[in-house]
């Protein structure tokens, strides 16, 4: 493969403009005009944590919730996943934080003029409201499904009009009891949806892809792989992805993702937070191309 | 303040305008970091270790954060030397980077085949040196960590030096996971290495206490970052001391291990390094190699030091 043609990216010291609680999560608004000017839904930013002498060296990556070139602001939603994310959640308005972005490939436009279904699992819903606005502005009908284990783990159920959103929780504490894939088949049929967009945990993305594919729709998924750098140099965020030539490659989700066609991901290699290298992947002993 | 002369040499009379480099495996092959800074401002750009065939690398998780560092278990994922000389090296040549190509192999013969293909590449003119990675810890068989054994190290360097023109410095990259790093350095230098890159990562491990099993897919991984800087300083110090004492041929040492600031780069230099690579810090700050260069230059200016070269090994008793 030729060297990746990376998109323009900025590394900035951004000021925290505002923060607020959102269920179990924290929403941060950041002044980052250079990032806001270029960002598209599905892209992400990578934050350094703890300042220049921090013992936590690895960047934390977050899908962009919104970006507004007019105000020069971007928004992210942060969940407590350990000391690094807790440091970010503790940032107050006026604090400075180092950010690189926008990173990765945005969600693609729908393949046809049908309706679009946008699915967010937990805070994976963060980019979906912005994406919904963009799609509606281009004339697409949009329906959202937001799901989480419980009400506190939902993000953004107040950001969409009731007739446009279906909410599911595993424990039934908000919306219908069940998984995001429970209402999905009927919605695809009823809306004649051809494009499904999803962001959330891997098992959910796999289930969404399987339901969509079974009904002739395409799932565009944004993965949340662990990344050390977010900018393409550490090689830790790889997934087995099938290319146009039909061959599987261990592919960086920060450069060639985080958005992928659900049909291109080798779900058979992914289980329980671990990703194996498929035996037919390029670069396994004996497999060239 | 007057400008500091940052020039340094890395063997075979090859001179670089400054001592700062990326570290292999921490910078991919160029285009990614070139978005953040002009990689031609560095003394050299060190590429990710390339083997003969494409490599898928290991499954994930491939990394774990550790105190002031990280474990990685990538497994030398890469395109193979043919794709490297067709795509990656020409790009580096075109932008004008001075390139140090890191090569690896599963046998001594494979190292030599990779070197041969590199030497034959149309863009070979961009290559300032070849780093021979005999110390990657992420291999299935610990017996393949050549730099754990003097004879194995010598065999690789011997075969590689036979196919590389004399004007190209060969830098043997060493592991600190040995009892006597000077003995390995001696074997590499006697077998044709012109310089030493030290240190590679230390073999480490992290166990997920909730799942009660190793966190990394490959179980073990290489420990890097500021946490290992004192190990790098020690290894460079011991090796440079052996050169001063006449127990080892005098050769340039490329210092690498936990460098995050200009002060860190100066510390490795004083221990005996003639050039400095920035690795894991790049994950924290994509501009780290250039930033460390600027900080180092400023430190020298503040101290009224006119030339970087005079500081190499300056902490040793004269």
The reported pLDDT for the residue numbered B141 is: 65
Does an H or E element contain B221, and which? strand B220-224
The reported pLDDT for the residue numbered A1 is: 42
Burial bucket for residue A141 (CB in 10 Å: 0-12, 13-18, 19+) = middle
CB atoms B26 and A282 under 8 Å: no
Which of helix, strand or coil describes residue B69? Answer: strand
Closest residue in B to A54 (Cα) is B68
HSE value, Cβ hemisphere, 13 Å, CA-based, for B107 = 4
Does an H or E element contain B150, and which? helix B150-163
Catalytic residues of B: 136
The reported pLDDT for the residue numbered B140 is: 64
Size of interface A-B (CB pairs under 8 A): 139
The reported pLDDT for the residue numbered A114 is: 83
What contacts A153, CB < 8 A, 6 or more positions away?
A23, A24, A122, A123, A169
Residue with tokens 């390139």: B99
Q: Do A263 and A209 touch, CB atoms closer than 8 A?
A: yes
- Check whether A6 has a pLDDT greater than 70: no
CB atoms B28 and A233 under 8 Å: yes
B292-316 core/surface letters (b: 16 or more CB in 10 A; e: else): bbebbbebbeeeeeeebeebbbeee
HSE value, Cβ hemisphere, 13 Å, CA-based, for B210 = 2
The reported pLDDT for the residue numbered B44 is: 98
Give A 34-63 residues with CB within 8 A of chain B.
Answer: 48, 54-59
Q: How many CB atoms lie within 10 A of CB B245?
A: 10
- Please tell me the pTM assigned to this model: 0.95
Burial bucket for residue B96 (CB in 10 Å: 0-12, 13-18, 19+) = exposed
The reported pLDDT for the residue numbered B137 is: 75
- Check whether A286 has a pLDDT greater than 80: no
A45-74 core/surface letters (b: 16 or more CB in 10 A; e: else): bbbbbeeeeeebbbbbbbbbbbbeeeebbb
Is the preceding peptide bond at B145 cis, omega within 30 degrees of 0?
Answer: no
Residues of B in contact with A234 (CB under 8 A): 26, 63, 72, 283
pLDDT digits (tens, 9 = 90+) for B118-129: 999 999 999 999
- Check whether A274 has a pLDDT greater than 70: yes
How many Å apart are CA A188 and CA A32, to the nearest integer? Answer: 37
Q: Residues B209, A222, A168, CA angle at the centre, nearest 5°?
A: 80
Residues of B in contact with A55 (CB under 8 A): 67-68, 226
CB atoms B54 and A288 under 8 Å: yes
Out of B26, B27, B53, closest to residue A288 by CB:
B53
> Angle, nearest 10°, between helix axes B229-244 and B262-271?
30
Q: Do A106 and A43 touch, CB atoms closer than 8 A?
A: yes
Q: Confidence class of residue A113 from pLDDT cuts 50, 70 and 90?
A: confident
How many Å apart are CA A281 and CA A284, to the nearest integer? Answer: 6
Out of B27, B56, B78, closest to residue A284 by CB:
B56
Q: Measured between CA atoms, how close is A105 to chain B, in angstroms?
A: 14
Which of helix, strand or coil describes residue A2? Answer: coil
Out of A11, A250, A255, closest to residue B77 by CB:
A250
pLDDT digits (tens, 9 = 90+) for A55-71: 999 999 999 999 999 99
What is the ipTM score, two decimals? 0.94
The two beta strands, A73-78 and A96-103, are unpaired
- Check whether A2 has a pLDDT greater than 50: no
Q: Measured between CA atoms, how close is A118 to chain B, in angstroms?
A: 28
CB atoms A255 and B61 under 8 Å: no
Q: How many CB atoms lie within 10 A of CB B241?
A: 17
Mean pLDDT, consecutive 10-residue stretches, chain B (318 aa), reads: 88 97 97 96 98 95 97 95 97 98 95 98 98 84 79 95 98 96 97 98 96 96 97 98 97 98 98 98 98 98 97 95
**Mutation for testing the B interface, residue in A12, A250, A253, A289 having most B CBs under 10 Å:** A250
Out of A11, A233, A236, closest to residue B32 by CB:
A233
């Amino acid at each position: 493969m030729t060297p990746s043609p990376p998109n323009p990216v900025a590394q900035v010291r951004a000021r925290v403009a505002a923060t607020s609680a959102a269920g179990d999560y924290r929403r941060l608004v950041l002044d980052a005009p250079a990032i806001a000017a270029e960002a598209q839904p599905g892209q992400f930013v990578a934050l350094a944590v703890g300042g220049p002498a921090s013992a936590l060296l690895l960047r934390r990556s977050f899908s962009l919730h919104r970006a507004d070139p007019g105000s020069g602001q971007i928004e992210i939603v942060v969940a407590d996943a350990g000391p690094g994310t807790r440091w970010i959640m503790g940032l107050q308005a006026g604090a400075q934080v180092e950010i690189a972005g926008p990173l990765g490939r945005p969600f693609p436009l729908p393949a046809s003029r049908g309706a679009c279904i946008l699915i967010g699992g937990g805070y994976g819903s963060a980019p979906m409201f912005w994406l919904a606005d963009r799609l509606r502005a281009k004339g697409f009908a949009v329906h959202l499904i937001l799901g989480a284990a419980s009400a506190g783990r939902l993000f953004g159920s107040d950001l969409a009009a009731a007739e446009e959103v279906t909410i599911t929780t595993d424990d039934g504490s908000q919306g219908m009891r069940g998984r995001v894939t429970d209402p999905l088949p009927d919605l695809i049929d009823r809306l004649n949806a051809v494009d499904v967009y999803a962001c959330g945990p891997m098992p959910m993305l796999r289930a969404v892809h399987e339901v969509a594919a079974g009904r002739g729709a395409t799932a565009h998924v944004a993965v949340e792989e662990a990344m050390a750098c977010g900018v393409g140099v550490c090689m830790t965020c790889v997934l087995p992805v099938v290319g146009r030539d039909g061959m599987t490659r261990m592919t960086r989700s920060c450069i060639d993702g985080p958005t992928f066609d659900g049909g291109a991901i080798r779900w058979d290699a992914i289980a329980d937070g671990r990703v194996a290298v498929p035996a037919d992947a390029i670069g396994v002993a004996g497999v060239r191309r | 303040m007057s400008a500091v002369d940052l020039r340094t040499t890395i063997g075979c009379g090859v001179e670089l305008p400054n001592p700062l480099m990326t570290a292999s495996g921490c910078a991919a092959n160029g285009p990614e970091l070139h978005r953040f800074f002009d990689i031609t401002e560095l003394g050299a750009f060190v590429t990710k270790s390339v083997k003969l065939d494409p490599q898928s690398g290991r499954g994930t998780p491939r990394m774990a954060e550790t105190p002031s560092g990280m474990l990685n278990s990538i497994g030398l994922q890469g395109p193979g030397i043919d794709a490297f000389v067709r795509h990656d090296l020409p790009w580096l040549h075109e932008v004008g980077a001075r390139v140090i190509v890191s090569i690896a192999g599963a046998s001594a013969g494979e190292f030599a085949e990779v070197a041969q293909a590199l030497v034959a590449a149309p863009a070979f003119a961009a290559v300032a040196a070849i780093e021979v990675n005999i110390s990657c810890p992420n291999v299935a068989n610990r017996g393949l960590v050549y730099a754990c054994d003097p004879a194995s190290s010598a065999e690789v360097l011997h075969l590689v030096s036979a196919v590389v023109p004399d004007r190209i410095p060969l830098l043997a990259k060493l592991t600190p996971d040995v009892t006597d790093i000077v003995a390995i350095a001696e074997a590499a230098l006697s077998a044709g290495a012109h310089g030493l890159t030290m240190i590679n990562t230390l073999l480490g491990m992290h166990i997920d206490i909730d799942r009660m099993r190793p966190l990394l897919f490959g179980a073990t991984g290489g420990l890097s970052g500021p946490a290992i800087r004192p190990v790098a300083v020690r290894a460079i110090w011991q090796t440079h001391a052996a050169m001063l004492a006449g127990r080892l041929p005098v050769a340039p040492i490329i210092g690498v291990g936990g460098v995050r600031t200009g002060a860190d780069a100066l510390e490795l230099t004083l221990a005996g390094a003639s050039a400095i690579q920035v690795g894991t810090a790049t994950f924290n700050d994509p501009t780290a190699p250039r930033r460390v260069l600027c900080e180092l230059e400023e430190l020298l200016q503040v101290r009224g030091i006119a030339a970087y070269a005079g500081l190499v090994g300056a902490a040793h008793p004269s």
